[in-house]
Amino acid sequence: MASGRQNNPGWTSDSLIDEILDKVKTIAVVGISDKASRPSAGVAMTLLNAGYEVCGVNPKLTAAMGINCYPDLKSIPKKIDLVDVFRRPEAIDPIVDAVIDLKIPYLWMQLGVINPDAAHRVADAGIKVIMDRCMAVELSVRGR
């Protein structure tokens, strides 16, 4: 996890969140579940209902609640604007590698996914990062 690097206040920036919610069209939900009671499933459905195109990433699933799923980010056959991560902080490094390799413009780490080292790596590659915030909550508080 973190090695002493401090959290960047920009990683929870309301202006960056507004930019993301306005610009993003296609979102990959990494760690999506096919169990409706799981937060990843609820957020994915909220994103769909808000008009975003959603792809799931879970190597054990081909679909979750009607959303096509892929084993990894590199297998998704379309351009992804944002990766929304529902994985433990210590499991994020391969996701960060793929986000950087694919030049995906935004990485969003959900509530509880706090890994400043990963966030710094992504930011150093020119990718914008939100950490420890929930996309569904942010949509709701903005009335979307």
Considering the domain boundaries, does residue 6 fall inside one? no
Considering the domain boundaries, does residue 55 fall inside one? yes
Considering the domain boundaries, does residue 1 fall inside one? no
3-state SS string for the chain? CCCCCCCCHHHHCHHHHHHHHHHCCEEEEECCCCCCCCHHHHHHHHHHHCCCEEEEECCCCCEECCEEEECCHHHCCCCCCEEEECCCHHHCHHHHHHHHHHCCCEEEECCCCCCHHHHHHHHHCCCEEEECCCHHHHHHHCCC
pTM of the model: 0.91
Considering the domain boundaries, does residue 103 fall inside one? yes
Considering the domain boundaries, does residue 115 fall inside one? yes
Tens digit of each residue's pLDDT (9 = 90 or more) over 77-100: 999 999 999 999 999 999 999 999
Considering the domain boundaries, does residue 74 fall inside one? yes
Tens digit of each residue's pLDDT (9 = 90 or more) over 46-62: 999 999 999 999 999 99
**Structural domains counted in the chain:** 1
Residue 38 sits in which domain range?
27-141
